Structure 1
Amino acid sequence: MMQELRLVLIILGAVAIAALLLHGLWTSRKEKPAKFGEKPIGKLREKDETGFDQDGIGSVRVIKAGSNEKPKTERKEPGLNFGEKPDVDPLFAGQTEEMPAKEKEDDLPLPVFSAADSEEADKVVDSPVQSIQTPEEESAFSETIAEPVIAQSEAIAPLAEEKEATDTVSEEAVEVEEEAPKEPEQQVLIMNVQAANNSEFDGEELINCLEQHGMIFGEMEIFHRHADLAGTGKVLFSAANMFNPGSFPLATIHQFTTPGITLFMTLPCYGEAEQNFKLMLQTAQQVADQLGGLVTDDNRNMMTPQRLDGYRDKIKQFHAHA
């Protein structure tokens, strides 16, 4: 009993498996579009009145070599491959004959790709994709960007003004520092040696006296006292003719006479100004004593101790402002 039941179950299982397999094959075959190869051969050979068969394929035409007509490109007749999709000529894909929907889908022309098309496709793939924005999106995006930019500009503006003010103050400070070391204006200390009783000094005697006290004839045709007696050092003070043009004509000095000479020094000067002034005053007194003259100030008034103090104060003030 058990063996019979087992045999029945085995047979039922085999039948069920076979039924499932048959049902699957039938379903897949039903869903698969009708193939060109499944059509009856008789239908494939039928031709319509225009000379084309049901799929729009005509017979092969043979063109003579000597014909003047323009040769037409021969088409290759499609082979009959059962179970596979046949090649369809795109020239006849637009036939208006009514065909089943599945057959028309099978007869659609396949696209033909060339090397040039592949290159163009590669270029299109490589090119960056640009997004298309509507005017509303662009305006919204612009407003979104503009708001932080304006806020940032407003935040930067005070900083820029503060930096500009700081730079202006720095420039003014630099200008003040540059103007600070400005040297004081040059000043000249003058005294005269005049002949007494409205007389005049003899030219030769005057020159000899000046040379005896370290004065050397030189630039501008006047006498100079240098830092060294050789006459190669800096000029400490000078002696000129009291009247214009102020020079001494050595070529005609034996005929030259003058009512007096002017000794002068400039501030600032080489060395110590007080020592140079003391040496100039001493030279003036020696010349006046030797020639019988008088020492006078810059206004040609008699030199007094008070006037000498005025010269010394002038030197001190100059150094105080230097």
Structure 2
Amino acid sequence: MGAGAFGTALAVALARDGRDVTLWARDLADMATTRRSHRLPDVLIPEGVTITSHLPDAGEADTVLLAVPAQTLRDVLIAYEDVLRSRTLVACCKGIDLTTLTGPAATIARTLPQATGAILTGPSFAADIARGLPTALTLACGSARTGLALQETLSTGTLRVYRTTDTIGAELGGALKNVIAIACGVAIGAGLGDSARAALMTRGFAEMQRLAAALGADPQTLAGLSGLGDLALTCTSELSRNYRFGLALGAGASIDTTLTVEGAATSRAVTRLGHERGIDLPICAVVAALTDRDISVETALQTLLSRPLKEE
């Protein structure tokens, strides 16, 4: 569900490996005819992918990959409850819901408790997956048995899936790294240099670990693909929408408002979550203020550099 770049890329990768895949979206434009997506113009969608805007065409598929933005996930679950509630639902988005302050896996559990929920996350660009380039992801599911089955279902010759039962750690890693990627983009866009980016990545990772530990995650999860791995990719590549958003902010350039930038909403959600829990998240708070245009880049820098000196 969701024919954006990531949903389409997953459909392409799974179909190439012999899976029977249905790709659904409300508005598919001419994808069914051209077998191409404007999000991935160089990729031909295999005939093994059924492209439809009629959800019942999914038939008896046991597993549904929810490749929709994190801030709309809950609405999709509610709107299509009759179709989704008896299936295994795998969230393929990264973020924290602004209303409920929950990650994708928790949103599924709260909204459709009858369904079996999981999350697929980790360092990955849609274009790489669609082109068949080697990619490793984390599949987090509270049920170890279901997680094992999903791992086998979603792994392909070039898509390697590792599994964990730590859904909290996996969803927090994927959500928070987007916020830190915006901060790193701001630093580079403002001409602060690679050393500043390295500092933000390192101290940002400390914030990720701090919040995850407070919410009951396994610290080892944050050190894996869904945390450190995704952080490294997203903070260093202009293929990342969150990083490009930060670049534009830092340089004072115009911003493409048509792109989904999960880290902007997540920065606001996680700052609220930190306040409620009494957890110090200075980089996340500064990113939230920047994305809301409450402070300037110069003020953001002064805020971070004037924090008390302490042991690492």
TM bin (shorter chain): under 0.3
Q: State the TM-score, normalized to the length of structure 2.
A: 0.19
Q: State the TM-score, normalized to the length of structure 1.
A: 0.19
| Max Rg structure | 1
